[in-house]
Structure formats: structure tokens, C-alpha cells
Structure 1
Amino acid sequence: MNTPTDTIVAINPTTWNAPFRFDHAQLRPAPSQVLSIAGQASVADDGTVVHEGDVAAQLSLAVHHIEEILASAQMTLADVFMMTIYTTDVAATLAAYEALTERLDVHGATPPAALVGVTALALPGLAVEIAVQAGR
């Protein structure tokens, strides 16, 4: 499993990104395996939306789902090399961003990321969906 200190070279020409826990770029050795995780959101096991109207809770549950999938592949957030966060409310997502950064901090993870504002997500009531690429 990769750890941020022994295999990743962070490339950051500026520092405004640091509070958001992402690097502008990362130079990593080529992984032998790549895990593509479809957009994860705040849904229960039966697919129903939970935490409607609570962006922080939606972020937290989406990250939880990602961590479960990563663990199934014997990976952690430290192995994520690209994260895309889709949201219907950029301001609310930024205000609740700690729900994501606290999980990244546990693993010392600062994957390159994009926060993308969209008009709607797949299910009514979803405010956030996160897709990632990971490798080891």
C-alpha cells in the first residue's frame, strides 16, 4: 500500500490549496493496479437517499462508502490519485468541506481534486457525489 511520504512527490506552485487537502499535481510511480470507484453518494444500502438537506452528512457518508470500497481492495485514501467531487451547491459543499478533509487527514492524503458544480445528480435530494481513482 502506498504511503504519502515514501512514494508521492507533491507539486504545488502555490499554497492556496493546502486548506482543502489537495495537491495541484502528484508524481507517483506507476501503479500495478488501478481501482476506479464510481460516484459515491449519501445513499443507504437499498439506494435511498439519506441526509437530504445536510451537505456535511452527505459528504461524510460518501467518503465512508469510498473508504469501504478502498478497504475491500486493501487500499486507503492515501492510495487515491484523483478525486472529483460533484455538487449541486458549491458554497454549501465548501462550508462543509471539513467532513472530507478530516478523513483525508487521517491518512495524510492530499490527492489532486476537482470540485465541480452541477445542476443535478442522479437521485433527487443528493447534493454531493464523489468519484475517485486509486492505485497501488
Structure 2
Amino acid sequence: MQRTAVNPWDWSLKLGYNQAEIIEGMSRHVICSGQTAVDGEGNPQHPGDMRSQINLALDNLEAVLLAAAGMGLGDITRLGIYATDVDEALKNFDLLAMRFGPLECAPPMTLLGVTRLAVPGLLFEIEATAAS
């Protein structure tokens, strides 16, 4: 698979994502549902702690990609992020940089503020599309 970044402006790169990517030569495409800060039984974890919830949601996203598809975070081509407090989520986006930066992966993403998520107590949800 070959990825070509499309960035007519560079401001998004400073935030860790490309405006678009051209994906060529892929053979598999995986769409992951939203991952949150829940344990293996689906119980919410880290109430009131955005940073810990983001970290666990990323762990869960990585587990879904690896377990189900044999892919990793570097194969992600698109992220959708939902947060009950956008400002607090952005304060903790270094967690995304720490995961995606070493992989030289800056998938296009959208961050939306929402009034709540499906399960009370959850603050952050991340969905992804991956390809290889």
C-alpha cells in the first residue's frame, strides 16, 4: 500500500494529521467501530479522567486492529474522534502523537464535541478506518 499525503496548507501537520491521503495498492480495508475506555467486559474505566480514557481507547483500538485484522495503528487511514470536552481532549492529544508519530502516520481525522457518549461516564471515543 502506498500513501501520499495531500496538504495544500501545513497547519494540520502541526496538529498531527494530513488534510487528505491518497491510498493506492491496498488489498484489505477494515472499519473499526468506536473504541472507548472500557475493560474486556465492557465496563467503563477511569471516570472523569480524560487522559486515561484516551490512552485506554487507543489501547482498545490497537487491540481490535491487531486481533481482528493483523494490522496496527500505522495502517489507519482515517480517524473519527468524539469527546464530551474538546478542550480537555486537545490538551491530551500528545497521546495520539506518541502513538502515531513514531509510525510516521498522520491519518486525516475529525474531532467532534458531543454532549455525551452512549455509555454514561465515557468522555472519549475513537473510530478508525485502516487499510493494508
TM-score class, shorter-chain normalisation, is over 0.9
Structure 2 counterpart of 1:114, from 110, 116, 119: 110
Structure 1 counterpart of 2:8, from 10, 13, 25: 13
Q: How many residues align?
A: 131
The aligned residue for residue 131 of structure 1 is 127
RMSD: 1.1
Give, as a single letter, the amino acid of the residue that structure 2 aligns with 1:78.
G
Q: Secondary structure at the match of 1:101?
A: helix
Q: Deviations over 1:95-133 (max 9, x none)?
A: 011112111113111000000111110111111000000
- Alpha-carbon offset, residue 58 of structure 1: 0.8
* Stretches of structure 1 lacking an aligned partner (at least 5 in a row): none
Instruction: Write the distance in 1 (CA, Å) between the matches of 2:130 and 2:47.
Output: 28
Instruction: Write the distance in 1 (CA, Å) between the matches of 2:32 and 2:99.
Output: 17
Q: Secondary structure at the match of 1:111?
A: coil
Q: Secondary structure at the match of 2:56?
A: helix
The aligned residue for residue 77 of structure 1 is 73
* Stretches of structure 2 lacking an aligned partner (at least 5 in a row): none
Q: Secondary structure at the match of 1:51?
A: coil
Identity of aligned residues (%): 34
Give, as a single letter, the amino acid of the residue that structure 2 aligns with 1:24.
Q
Instruction: Write the distance in 2 (CA, Å) between the matches of 1:53 and 1:98.
Output: 18
Question: TM-score, length-normalised on structure 2?
Answer: 0.94
